[in-house]
Amino acid sequence: MKKLFGFRSKKGVSPFGSSISLGRDRGHHKTSFQPWYHIRDKDLRKIHKAASVGNVAKVQQVLLLGENGLNEKDKRNRTALHLACANGHPEVVAFLLERKCLLNLCDSENKTALMKAVECQEEECATLLLEHGADPNLTDANGNTALHHAVFCQNISLAAELLSYHANIEARNEDDLTPLLLAISERKQQMVEFLVRKEANVHAVDKMKRYSCSFSF
């Protein structure tokens, strides 16, 4: 299974490349980072195509004609809400929320629409979801919460927003990393300082019995 987050190698090389880099082997597992969805028309239904390009009127028409359902999934288990969030279309997100779409459905990587909004740093979309009750503490296929994703992107405003909606600051992913341990391991100094101010446990320990207070930049 591919992991999203982990410690840096001894050479200090980040396990992440650009948004199109996939599967860098780090010995014990591979990592991948590709926040934006790869869109192929053959994978999408009409509602997904309309949502992915921000066409509110078309989304409304598709629903009115009953061509697709509000929560219908594409071949990769993505809903219209997932695609609107990943592509930064808050108008579509707002419309879907008004129609009472399901907020916490997961795509093929077990990511919710909130996780995609955070991962793609679409703050307006993320805020809309949180305001309407999206759960910030669900985990993806690798145990990462939306807060873990905000930490990796070093988006402090999104991290603060998630915490204001009761995101668990001590949540651990499959690598046993809390958001603070992740920030330290990825050398996200500003995020480390922010999480410490927010009273993250500075004595947290990972699987290798390393304490957060033992890390240095």
**pLDDT exceeds cutoff 70 at 21:** no
Q: Specify if 147 maps to a domain.
A: no
- Residues 45-104 pLDDT 10s: 999 999 999 999 999 999 999 999 999 999 999 999 999 999 999 999 999 999 999 999
User: What predicted TM-score, i.e. pTM, was given to this entire model?
Assistant: 0.82
Q: Specify if 73 maps to a domain.
A: yes
> What range defines the domain where residue 74 resides?
36-115
Residue 30: strand, helix, or coil: strand
CA-atom Rg of the chain in angstroms:
18
SS3 for 144-164, per residue?
CCHHHHHHHCCCHHHHHHHHH
Q: Specify if 216 maps to a domain.
A: no
Tell me the CATH number at 70: 1.25.40.20
The β-bridge relationship of strands 30-32 and 22-25 is antiparallel
Q: Residue 202 in contact with residue 195, Cβ under 8 Å?
A: no
pLDDT at 40: 75
pLDDT at 41: 75
**pLDDT exceeds cutoff 50 at 118:** yes
pLDDT at 160: 98
pLDDT at 195: 97
Q: Specify if 187 maps to a domain.
A: no
Number of domains observed in the structure of the chain: 1
Q: 117: pLDDT confidence band, cut at 50, 70 and 90?
A: very high
Whole-number average pLDDT of the chain:
84
Q: Which residue has the higher pLDDT, 213 or 109?
A: 109
In the 8-state DSSP scheme, what is residue 3?
A: B
Q: Specify if 189 maps to a domain.
A: no
Q: Specify if 69 maps to a domain.
A: yes
**pLDDT exceeds cutoff 70 at 162:** yes
Q: Which residue has the higher pLDDT, 32 or 64?
A: 64
**pLDDT exceeds cutoff 50 at 181:** yes
* Helix H or strand E segment including 51: helix 46-52
- Residues 2-11 pLDDT 10s: 344 333 333 3
In the 8-state DSSP scheme, what is residue 42?
A: G
Q: Specify if 158 maps to a domain.
A: no
